[in-house]
């Protein structure tokens, strides 16, 4: 009897699919007790191999010092937002969970709440180097249960970058040190008056800029209001989000002033999702931006081999700390994020994973890493090391800000609160909303997305 085509086809499909399915089950699941699987974020830019090169070196050292043990990398090649998603999916199942993962402090608390991560306190207590880590960085990887879930491998800080070429044309001092918000605005007004064709001041704003608007823009203002002793976004004692605060409206007013007086970029440029590329690649190198409220990592963009090499940037750009609103103590403000190494709750070899963390975070390796990725040291011994501070202009300045830096309340609701901030900013930037309207819109949204966990201040 001739075989009918459908039968042949179905048989073929069955075989093919079951082979694939079996293969899928086979790989990925359990690996030997001598191999530690490490997931990290690989750059989406193929020419950037900073993390890969660094980790390969550490792997070699680890395998040499731990005979019989192996390190296997499971790199995830994705932009930030997608990296989180992929990682979270891997962490859900013991079959896909690696032994060590690279976690952004932005989402670590969320992943702790989900039960994806393992507390490290038992390991840290026996690790002498942990005492070297600065307090604020340690706090960034702490869960609400008081346990620590990650070892930070550096941080970032933020401040004011200003163009000395623009400043000299405007008659402003090359060693500019603004003492309060009014100083920043008045410098911008001077630039607007005296140097036409230049954007006086850039503050990232609106939803298209995303977390960049919230952190480099709004929070750099908000955390400089009040007396700095309390978190202006989140109330730790009650575990509730702050609404209706004076500081929030003041920070919004600052943004409104920048865009209403046309001290910032054209609104339509500011709301272009790719505007940061223009700032880093064109406006700053070409001397078309007076003051930029931005992060410590900018020189990464200007290194040789990147898209816009600008080796002598430090000749043209000056750095100043972002002042507090009225110059009240401590006088300056900075925000920090950064990444940590964490061990998944479903890891197969957690002990070996922590051994790998110890190798990653020897003083020498830590210093090598900070220098390679323009990171800011979170180990006191490295921060004081001239081999580190002298490695790149600006490192000393941004490391000095660590003492005045704040970490975001990165609890599960934070990403939604951040979106609400961006919407409020966007309202005052376009002029569609008054400060009062935008602030009350924020209050309502936060009340909604946090399920009513808000407190009026």
Partner 1 sequence: MRRGHPAVRALPLVPALVLLLLFLAGPIAYCVWIAFTDLQLTGQAHSSFTGLANFRRAFQDDAFLNAVWLTLVFTVLSSLIGQNTLGLALAALMKRASKPVRTLTGGVVITAWVLPEVVAGFLLYAFFRREGTLNAVLDWLHLPRQNWLFTLPILAVSFANVWRGTAFSMLVYSAALDEIPAEITEAAEVDGAGGWRRLWHITLPMIRRSIGTNLMLNTLQTLSVFGLIWVMTRGGPGDRSQTLPLFMYEQAFQNSMIGYGTAVALLLLLVGSLFSVVYLRLLRTEV
Name the residues that contact partner 1, by CB under 8 A.
1, 4, 6-7, 9-11, 13-14, 17-18, 81-82, 84-85, 88-89, 107, 110-111, 113-116, 206-208, 266-269, 271-274, 411-413, 415-416, 419, 423, 426, 430, 449
Residue 400 Cβ, how far from partner 1 at the closest point, in Å? 34
Residue 396 Cβ, how far from partner 1 at the closest point, in Å? 36
CB closer to partner 1, 99 vs 103: 103
Residue 37 Cβ, how far from partner 1 at the closest point, in Å? 21
Identify which of 410, 374, 362, 358 has the alpha carbon closest to the alpha carbon of residue 299.
Answer: 374
CB closer to partner 1, 106 vs 398: 106
Residue 342 Cβ, how far from partner 1 at the closest point, in Å? 13
Residue 114 Cβ, how far from partner 1 at the closest point, in Å? 5
CB closer to partner 1, 239 vs 311: 239
Residue 401 Cβ, how far from partner 1 at the closest point, in Å? 29
Residue 97 Cβ, how far from partner 1 at the closest point, in Å? 14
CB closer to partner 1, 107 vs 353: 107
Tokens of 153: 């491998």
Q: In what order do the strands lie in the sheet with 240-243?
A: 234-235, 240-243, 454-456
Q: How far apart are CA 162 and CA 319, in angstroms?
A: 6
Identify which of 380, 245, 398, 259 has the alpha carbon closest to the alpha carbon of residue 319.
Answer: 398
CB closer to partner 1, 181 vs 259: 259
Q: How far apart are CA 32 and CA 189, in angstroms?
A: 64
CB closer to partner 1, 355 vs 426: 426
CB closer to partner 1, 157 vs 418: 418
* Positive or negative torsion for Cα 78, 84, 86, 91: positive
Residue 94 Cβ, how far from partner 1 at the closest point, in Å? 17
Q: How far apart are CA 362 and CA 166, in angstroms?
A: 43
Tokens of 12: 């073929």
CB closer to partner 1, 111 vs 294: 111
Residue 313 Cβ, how far from partner 1 at the closest point, in Å? 24
CB closer to partner 1, 71 vs 91: 91
Residue 274 Cβ, how far from partner 1 at the closest point, in Å? 8
CB closer to partner 1, 413 vs 454: 413
């Amino acid at each position: 009897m001739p075989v009918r085509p459908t039968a042949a086809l179905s048989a073929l499909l069955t075989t093919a699919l079951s082979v694939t399915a079996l293969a899928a089950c086979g790989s990925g699941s359990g690996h030997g007790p001598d191999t530690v699987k490490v997931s990290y974020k690989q750059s989406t830019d193929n020419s950037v191999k900073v993390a890969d090169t660094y980790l390969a070196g550490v792997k070699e050292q680890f395998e040499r010092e731990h005979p019989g043990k192996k390190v296997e990398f499971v790199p995830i090649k994705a932009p930030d937002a997608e990296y989180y998603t992929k990682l979270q999916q891997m962490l859900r199942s013991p079959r896909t969970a690696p032994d060590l993962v690279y976690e952004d402090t932005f989402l670590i608390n969320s992943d702790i709440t989900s039960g994806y991560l393992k507390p490290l306190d038992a390991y840290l207590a026996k690790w002498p180097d942990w005492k070297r880590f600065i307090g604020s960085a340690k706090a960034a990887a702490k869960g609400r249960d008081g346990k620590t879930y990650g070892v930070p491998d550096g941080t970032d800080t933020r401040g004011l970058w200003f163009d000395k070429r623009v400043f000299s044309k405007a008659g402003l001092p090359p060693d500019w040190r603004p003492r309060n918000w009014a100083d920043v605005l008045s410098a911008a007004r001077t630039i607007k008056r005296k140097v036409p064709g230049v954007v006086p001041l850039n503050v990232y704003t609106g939803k298209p800029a995303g977390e960049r608007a919230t952190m480099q823009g709004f929070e750099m203002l908000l955390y400089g209001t009040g007396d700095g002793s309390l978190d202006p976004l989140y109330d730790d004692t009650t575990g509730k989000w702050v609404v209706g605060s004076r500081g929030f409206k003041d920070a919004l007013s600052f943004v409104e002033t920048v865009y209403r007086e046309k001290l910032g970029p054209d609104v339509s440029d500011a709301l272009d999702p790719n505007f940061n590329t223009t700032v880093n690649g064109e406006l700053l190198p070409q001397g078309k931006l007076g003051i930029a409220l931005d992060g410590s990592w900018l020189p990464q963009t200007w290194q040789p081999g990147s898209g816009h090499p600008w080796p002598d940037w430090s000749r043209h750009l000056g750095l100043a700390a972002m002042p507090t609103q009225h110059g009240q103590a401590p006088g300056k403000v900075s925000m920090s994020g950064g990444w940590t190494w964490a061990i998944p709750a479903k890891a197969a070899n957690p002990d070996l994973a922590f051994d790998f963390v110890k190798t990653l975070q020897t003083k020498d390796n830590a210093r090598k890493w900070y220098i390679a990725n323009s990171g800011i040291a979170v180990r006191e011994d490295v921060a004081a090391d001239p081999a580190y501070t002298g490695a790149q202009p600006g490192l000393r300045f941004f490391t000095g800000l660590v003492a005045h830096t704040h970490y975001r309340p990165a609890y599960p609701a934070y990403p939604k609160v951040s979106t609400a901030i961006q919407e409020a900013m966007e309202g005052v930037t376009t002029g569609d909303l008054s400060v009062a309207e935008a602030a009350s819109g924020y209050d309502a949204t936060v009340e909604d997305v946090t399920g009513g966990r808000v407190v009026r201040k």
